[in-house]
Amino acid sequence: MPRSYLFRDRADAGRQLAEKLSSYAGRDDVIVLALPRGGVPVAFEVAQRLGVPLDIFVVRKLGVPGHEELAMGAIASGGVRVLNEDVVYALPDAQSIVEMVTAIEREELERRELTYRAGRPPSDLRGRTVILVDDGLATGATMRAAAAALRQQGAAKIIVAVPVGAPTTCREIRDEVDDARFIHGRRPILRRFFPDQRRRSARAARGPAARGPEADV
């Protein structure tokens, strides 16, 4: 493995992350939710090592038009929208831009949910301890939207778990959820942490949901 990489791949990151979550192993109230696509291979290893069910949770970033990698917010199932006020404040005609992008991304969110789930219902999260997994944390907009949606769905406890995250965002997220576990506190330019940056296939992201709303791994 080249020295410049912290992980062999996302599966390796998941195995390392699971070590930081060992206190949740084997508990029947715990479920791991993966944020597709990059979070799926990480979450698979976490769920497998902890011996708990795995499902997916679809969230869509709201990118600034022309600068899509810059998140002005995110949306999640249940009609939840979280905005990055610092980014939105800097936009001209911000309200119309936000509404336009939201409409586009909500349509895509609904399409992806149908694709990934193949008609199967989502897991019942009421009263559950949810470990929410992605492959990195930059602005935190996507993770915040996911956490807000999970609260709406009745999750009893939310744990954010990512291999690498921007230090400021990691500190902020810790204050917004019940628990948070990270391996490295660095700005997650993912090509520097994972050797393989090819985009994950829809088939890989569908895997957990296609096996049922609470796939045992």
- List average pLDDT for each run of 10 residues in the chain, which is 217 residues long: 67 94 97 92 96 93 89 84 89 94 95 84 93 91 88 93 90 93 69 50 50 50
Both tokens assigned to 88 = 């939105």
Q: What does the DSSP 8-state code read for residue 44?
A: H
- Rounded CA separation 6/193 (Å): 5
Domains of the chain, by residue range, sit at 10-59+119-210, 61-115
Q: What's residue 142's pLDDT?
A: 84
Both tokens assigned to 180 = 């948070």
Q: What's residue 71's pLDDT?
A: 84
CATH of span 10-59+119-210: 3.40.50.2020
- Parallel/antiparallel/unpaired status of strands 54-56 and 59-64: unpaired
CB 84 within 8 A of CB 139: yes
Q: What's residue 206's pLDDT?
A: 56
Best CA proximity match to 67, nearest among 81, 86, 87, 93: 87
Q: What's residue 138's pLDDT?
A: 84
What architecture is the 61-115 domain classified under in CATH?
Answer: 2-Layer Sandwich (3.30)
The SS3 of residue 118 is coil
Best CA proximity match to 88, nearest among 98, 100, 75, 80: 98
pTM, two decimals, is 0.78
- Rounded CA separation 4/188 (Å): 13
Both tokens assigned to 72 = 């002005």
H-type alpha helices, 63-188: 85-89, 94-117, 141-152, 167-174
